[in-house]
């Protein structure tokens, strides 16, 4: 017989007497986005409205193609784009703070 201590009978989820059920949040790791039409992976992030003038084209999303359909290759190509993206808001905030 299976040990069912800590498992909710209704939903089969883990429960703890001191933690509310809605306290657990799922945090997804940053990962390449696969275009549903073409199957090509891309780097995609949302740009805050105040920082949009500092990004190319001043759009709501910062999107760069990874030029591959292979998931493993896309994961390798994702990291350099993430570094560039993280540097741009930092530079923009420094520029806004100095004004």
pTM of the model: 0.62
| Residue 74 counted as domain residue | yes
| Residue 6 counted as domain residue | no
Residue whose token pair is 């275009």: 35
| Residue 21 counted as domain residue | no
How many domains, the chain? Answer: 1
Q: Residue 57 region, left (φ>0) first, then alpha (ψ -120 to 50), else beta?
A: left
At 5-59, the pLDDT tens digits run 444 444 445 555 555 555 556 666 788 999 989 999 999 988 888 788 877 766 7
| Residue 9 counted as domain residue | no
At 66-81, the pLDDT tens digits run 999 999 999 999 999 9
| Residue 13 counted as domain residue | no
**3-state class (DSSP) for residue 14:** strand
| Residue 84 counted as domain residue | yes
Query: Can you read off the two tokens belonging to residue 3?
Result: 């040990």
Domain that holds residue 43: 28-98
């Amino acid at each position: 017989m299976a040990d069912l201590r800590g498992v909710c009978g209704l939903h089969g989820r883990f429960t703890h007497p001191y933690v509310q059920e809605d306290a657990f949040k799922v945090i997804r790791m940053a990962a390449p986005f696969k275009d549903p039409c073409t199957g090509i992976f891309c780097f995609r992030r949302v740009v805050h409205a105040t920082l949009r003038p500092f990004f190319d084209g001043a759009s709501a999303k910062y999107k760069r193609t990874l030029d591959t359909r292979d998931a493993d290759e896309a994961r390798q190509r994702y990291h350099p784009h993430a570094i560039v993206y993280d540097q741009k808001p930092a530079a923009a905030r420094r520029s806004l703070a100095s004004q």
